[in-house]
Amino acid sequence: MKVVKRNGDLEDYNPEKVVKSLKNSGVSESTINKILQTIKDKRFDSISTDKLYKIVYQLVKKLENKYNASIYSLKQAIMRLGPDGYTFEDYIAKIFAGEGFKVKTRQVYESNCITHELDVVGDDFFVECKYHNSGGITSGIKDVMYSHARFLDLKDACKNKGYHFRKLWVATNTKFSDECIDYGKYWGLKLMSWKYDGKNSLSYIIDTKHYFPVTLLPSVGREVFSLLSRKNILLITEVRDKSDEELKSIGLSADEVAKLRTDCDNIIEAAKKIEKINGGKK
C-alpha cells in the first residue's frame, strides 16, 4: 500500500508512523490494533496522507473517545488559531513564557535605518512567527533570510539603541524547507517547526509540557474561540484557571462554560494518562 504525501510524492505506507502518533495521543493498544486492521482490510491504494489522517481521527473518536481524538488532532488545532497570524504569535509567546522567558508581543524597535515590529521579544532574543492556516505550506528560505536580515540590522544598532539581541528564533506551525535548516545551522539561528528540532520542536514541547491550545477542546467552535482569543485566553490551562464568572463575563453562556469545563478536565486527564504511559519513552 502506498500513500501520497502533500508534495505529491508516493511513499510506502508505514504502520509504525500511525502507531507512534496514536500512542502519543494516548490511544489504547486494542484500538490501535483495530485501526491498523481497518486500514489493512480497506486496502487503500495511493491514499493521501490527509485522507488517511481523517479516517484514523474518526476511528479514534469512535473506538476510543473524543478527547484522545482531539489530542491526535493537535496539529489541526494549531491551524485553527487563525485566520491571521496574531493569535499564533500570542500562542508562541505563551510557550516561551511557560519556559521561563519574559516576553512581549509585537514590539517596535528602531535600527540605525528603519523600524521593525517584532512578533515576540525576550530580553536578548526575538521570535519571528510564520503561521500557515493550512498544512503542506513550507516556510521557505525567503522568510528565514528576511528574518535573519532583520536580526543583523537590529544587532548592528544594539550599541546605539540600548537593546541587545543575541539570538533569533524563527517559529512555524508547519515545516521548514531543507535549505532553511542548512542556512539556520550555518548562521546559528534557532528554528522551531512542527517536527524540528527534536526536543525544541513545537509538537514535542506542546505534547510534553501540555501547552494545549483551546482549539483542541471539542466545544470550542469558531464563536467560542473568537470570544476566548479576544481576551488572549489561548491555553487549556488558562481556561481551567478561570472561574465560571470570569468566563461568563467574556460573553460565554452558562451552558458553554459548563461544556468548556468538562472538556478541559477530560483533555487534561487524558494528557496526564498519556504522560504516565509514555513517560520517559520520548
By rule CB under 8 A, what string of x and - marks binding of each residue 114-153 to a second copy?
Answer: xx-------------------------xx--xx-xxx-xx
Q: Does 1 bind a second copy (CB under 8 A)?
A: no
Task: Candidates 186, 222, 276, 280: give the one binding a second copy (CB under 8 A).
Answer: 186
Burial of 10 (0-12, 13-18, 19+ CB in 10 A): exposed
Distances (CA, A) of 143 to 7, 99, 111: 20, 25, 19
Nearer to a second copy, 118 or 220 (CB): 118
Interacting stretch for a second copy, rule CB under 8 A, among 95-103, 112-120, 230-238, 252-260? 112-120
Nearer to a second copy, 197 or 246 (CB): 197
Which residue from 17, 172, 144 is spatially nearest to 79, judged by alpha carbons? 172
CA 1/CA 118 separation, integer angstroms: 46
State the nearest-atom distance from the C-beta of 63 to a second copy, in Å. Answer: 46
Q: Which set of grid coordinates corresponds to residue 203? A: 509538537
Which residue from 171, 153, 84, 142 is spatially nearest to 116, judged by alpha carbons? 153
State the nearest-atom distance from the C-beta of 112 to a second copy, in Å. Answer: 6
Burial of 14 (0-12, 13-18, 19+ CB in 10 A): exposed
CA 227/CA 208 separation, integer angstroms: 27
Interacting stretch for a second copy, rule CB under 8 A, among 168-176, 179-187, 206-214, 237-245? 179-187
**Total residues interacting with a second copy, rule: CB under 8 A:** 19
Which amino acid appears at position 38 of this protein?
T
Interacting stretch for a second copy, rule CB under 8 A, among 4-12, 178-186, 205-213, 260-268? 178-186
Interacting stretch for a second copy, rule CB under 8 A, among 25-33, 68-76, 162-170, 176-184? 176-184
Q: Does 112 bind a second copy (CB under 8 A)?
A: yes
Which strand (E) or helix (H) includes residue 206?
helix 202-209
Nearer to a second copy, 186 or 198 (CB): 186
**Furthest CA-CA distance within the chain:** 67
Q: What angle do CA 265, 69, 28 make, to 5 degrees?
A: 90
State the nearest-atom distance from the C-beta of 156 to a second copy, in Å. Answer: 9
End-to-end CA distance of the chain: 28
Q: Does 179 bind a second copy (CB under 8 A)?
A: yes
Task: Give the interface with a second copy as residue ranges (CB under 8 A).
Answer: 112-115, 141-142, 145-146, 148-150, 152-153, 179, 182-183, 185-187
